[in-house]
Amino acid sequence: MTQDNPFGQVLVALVTPMTADGEVDWPGVEKHIDDVISAGADGIVVTGTTGETSTLTDPEKIRLVEVGKDVAAGRAKIITGGGSNETAHAIELYKHSEQVGADGIMIVTPYYNKPTQAGILTHFRLVADATDLPVILYDIPGRTGVPITYETILRLAKHPNILAIKDAKGDFSEVSRVLNQTDLMYFSGADENILPHLAIGATGLIGVTANIAPAPYRVIVDAVNRGDLAAATAAHRQLEPLVRAVMTHVPGTVAAKYILHGLGRIGSPRVRLPLVGPEEWEAALIEDEIDHVTGVPGVDFRNFRPDRNAAAGGALPKVAGTTR
């Protein structure tokens, strides 16, 4: 059965721009969302891993959905990510996100608790039951400590609200099995694997590097859609050094903000503790990779002016009250 896609195909795992003292830079958020949509994104995931969901307050998470909807103005879908490793808290967050206009939700496997597959199954089902929004499952065992097994994915695929999965495991044989056995849409959640995932039937991507360069991902997806593997491969190879710069040496959030700030596209590279900006040697490695980036549409590194001092350290949130 072919189903409509309510999420888009080129989804940006959005960074949350912040001021130098660690406050959310709301004008910067608006500008960045508009920039990536104008460059070809048709979906935005706010408050995900890349958006620093673990150190955002609940009010900030809800406001990010509101701002995203306002800026997108129908040009792109706004998906809220993150959730919680406490099922009741996750339900509360997603219900509130639905009330303020989210187009979909992305539910991460409960982290730190290390639940059994029965616990994972129950968590996802209860959250999906609590909303009328379409759901993307987020499978990233490197961060959560536990995978969603193939058998659990098959059971979850029967839920009417669960329409897709974001895969950050990189198990291509499992991707094919799930695509053969379910109607789930697959979204690549590993920037280096986006073209291979698309080539075996994935629907789209939820990318970190797309914060910096959405346009070539639009090229790749559109080329795959029309069966032009040569054009998709050329864009993929062009992007490879940039993906390496973003995803190899420090957490993707840190590298993406460092690069976006160096390009003058966000006002500060600041991240919230326990994340910190790249150390001198890490920044040097990122810049070495950038030296190999040429011809990527929408990115001109001739104007790259990184500020290692601005990126150093971290900042505590300055929002009054609880952070949860």
Per the structure, the complete domain to which residue 92 belongs is given by 10-228
Instruction: With respect to residue 267, please indicate whether it lies within any of the assigned structural domains.
Output: no
Output the CA torsion 253→126→122→45 (10° steps).
-20
SS3 113: coil
Instruction: With respect to residue 324, please indicate whether it lies within any of the assigned structural domains.
Output: no
- Interaxial angle between packed helices 87-99 and 117-129, expressed in degrees from 0 to 180 and rounded to the nearest 10: 30
Contact assessment for residue 242 and residue 230, using Cβ atoms and an 8 Å cutoff: no
pLDDT-wise least confident of 51-65, 94-108, 131-145: 131-145
Residue 323 banded pLDDT, cuts 50, 70, 90: very low
Contact assessment for residue 23 and residue 41, using Cβ atoms and an 8 Å cutoff: no
Averaged pLDDT, 123-141: 96
Residue 312 banded pLDDT, cuts 50, 70, 90: low
- The alpha carbon of 302 is separated from its chain's Cα centroid by a whole number of angstroms, namely 27
Instruction: With respect to residue 277, please indicate whether it lies within any of the assigned structural domains.
Output: no
- The alpha carbon of 201 is separated from its chain's Cα centroid by a whole number of angstroms, namely 20
Check residues 168 and 224 and name the one with the higher pLDDT. 224
Task: Report the percent of the chain where pLDDT is more than 70.
Answer: 95
Instruction: With respect to residue 297, please indicate whether it lies within any of the assigned structural domains.
Output: no
Averaged pLDDT, 169-197: 93
Predicted local distance difference test score (pLDDT) of residue 318 = 52
Which residues are catalytic, by number? Answer: 138, 166
Contact assessment for residue 193 and residue 170, using Cβ atoms and an 8 Å cutoff: yes
CATH of residue 39: 3.20.20.70
Instruction: With respect to residue 316, please indicate whether it lies within any of the assigned structural domains.
Output: no
* Number of domains forming the structure of the chain: 1
Predicted local distance difference test score (pLDDT) of residue 30 = 98
Instruction: With respect to residue 82, please indicate whether it lies within any of the assigned structural domains.
Output: yes
Instruction: With respect to residue 296, please indicate whether it lies within any of the assigned structural domains.
Output: no
* pLDDT tens track for 191-211: 999 999 999 999 999 999 999
* pLDDT tens track for 70-84: 999 999 999 999 889
C-alpha 154/C-alpha 85 separation (Å) is 22
pTM for this model (two decimals): 0.94
Q: Which residues are annotated as a binding site for pyruvate?
A: 50, 206
